[in-house]
Amino acid sequence: MYKNITGMKDIMPSEVSKWHFVENNIKKVFELYNYKEVRTPVLEFTALFKRGVGEATDIVEKEMYTFNDRNGKSLSLRPEGTASTVRAYIQSKDYANSPLTKYYYIGEMYRHERPQKGRYRAFNQIGAEFFGPSTPASDFEVIQMVEDILKSIKLKDYKFYINSIGCKDCRPNHKKALVDFFTPHKEKLCKDCQRRLDTNPMRIIDCKIDSCKIIAQDAPKISNFYCESCSKHNNELITLLENSDIGYQIDPKIVRGLDYYVKTTFEVRVSEEILGSQNTIIGGGRYNNLVKELGGPNVDAIGFGIGIERVILALSEEINEAPLNYAIVILGNTSLSPALKLVHKLRKNGNTVDIDYRLGSLKSQMRWANKNNAQKVIIIGEEEVKNNIYIEKNMLTSEQVKKTFDDL
């Protein structure tokens, strides 16, 4: 028997109602905010992610599915959606059509991580990217949209965490302060953080290893290093948030694991009791230099990614499968044609209809209808066809009525 690849799950029909519920509600919110869907391939040239996500990130260094194609070109399965979306934005020259562009996407991403609850090697993200705006008001709108999304899917017990991680002007001073702070503790840091001390010391701040966490407690905070522009941007965003009913917390530990972020970053987490250590369901922030770095114009941007598997694990809401409106019981050969015509008419009228195509006895077709939770059963026998009628049974009340084929 063939089995799926470790960390790559099937989503079976019994679970799919929840997926539709989440995807459809989120799409509706995107539409309210004027976002348009973009679909990009799951495979890209590896160089895009090296440049886009960052060569020194865990994702690019350790987690990508990378291989050479038959022409010897290095390709990678997308580990996230932002780099591909930015590439498509630049390639399509959509920026020339409008100074502000809003995209959203839904799709599978691939990271060779250690699988555990809420962490998979193939997982689905719904993401949004807003190209063009620089204002704190646009950050606020994105955060408000995330809040509306969480409300639309009735997710409870989540918390919004916000930070600003500075920009290319203020980060060098912070980086130097971090290197000075962590270097005396280097031997006590985990192997990854020892490497991060050279590549990206900010990432030590959100290391999940206890010994690193203890050392990082007193690390210099970026907020003490903000340049004037970052300070102003952050203050304006906080003012907008304070004047709204969005509950949030400032968390200086949000540094994000991808290199492109500047200024505003945010995460939404649910409690560890629900999701264990993989409790961040949404992550996002500003990435003002990425479009230019990938060969596009100088366009600021902000976006976020929602992990659908994690959201679904966190949903307490029972989502019922859509019921089957009609099951059709067909008895005898001459009933088949009129029955199939009736089925097609019902479907055209927007009803969900199905037939037990084994066409067994009345008893076995009724059993099948019951198992499929049919709301109504239509019984069509040879006698009924002769008289141009059929029997409709309401499965909830057991009430039976005779109807003519013309009634439809």
Which residue in the set 155, 281, 366, 389 belongs to the binding site for ligand HAM (CB under 6 A)?
Answer: 281
Closest approach, Cβ 83 to ligand HAM, in A, equals 8
Report residue 307: phi and psi, to 5°.
-85, 110
Closest approach, Cβ 103 to ligand HAM, in A, equals 10
Rounded to an integer, what distance in angstroms lies between the CA atom of residue 24 and that of residue 160? 22
Question: Could you say whether residue 205 binds ligand HAM (CB under 6 A)?
Answer: no
Question: Could you say whether residue 234 binds ligand HAM (CB under 6 A)?
Answer: no
Q: b/e per residue, 263-298, with b = 16+ CB within 10 A?
A: bbbbbbbbeeebbeebbbbbbbbbbbbbbeebebee
Which residues from 91-120 bind ligand HAM, rule CB under 6 A? 111, 113, 118-120
DSSP conformation class of 107: E
Could you give the count of Cα atoms lying within 13 Å of 88 in the half-sphere of its Cβ? 19
Question: Could you say whether residue 309 binds ligand HAM (CB under 6 A)?
Answer: yes
Question: Could you say whether residue 125 binds ligand HAM (CB under 6 A)?
Answer: yes
Helices 171-182 and 191-199 pack at an angle, to 10 degrees, of 140
Residue closer to ligand HAM (CB basis): 83 or 204? 83
Which residues from 54-83 bind ligand HAM, rule CB under 6 A? 80-82
Question: Could you say whether residue 291 binds ligand HAM (CB under 6 A)?
Answer: no
Question: Could you say whether residue 26 binds ligand HAM (CB under 6 A)?
Answer: no
Closest approach, Cβ 135 to ligand HAM, in A, equals 17
Rounded to an integer, what distance in angstroms lies between the CA atom of residue 9 and that of residue 121? 9
Closest approach, Cβ 378 to ligand HAM, in A, equals 44
Question: Could you say whether residue 87 binds ligand HAM (CB under 6 A)?
Answer: no
Rounded to an integer, what distance in angstroms lies between the CA atom of residue 126 and that of residue 26? 8
Residue closer to ligand HAM (CB basis): 212 or 281? 281
- For ligand HAM, the binding residues (CB under 6 A) are 80-82, 111, 113, 118-120, 123, 125, 127, 129, 257-258, 280-285, 287, 303-305, 307, 309-310
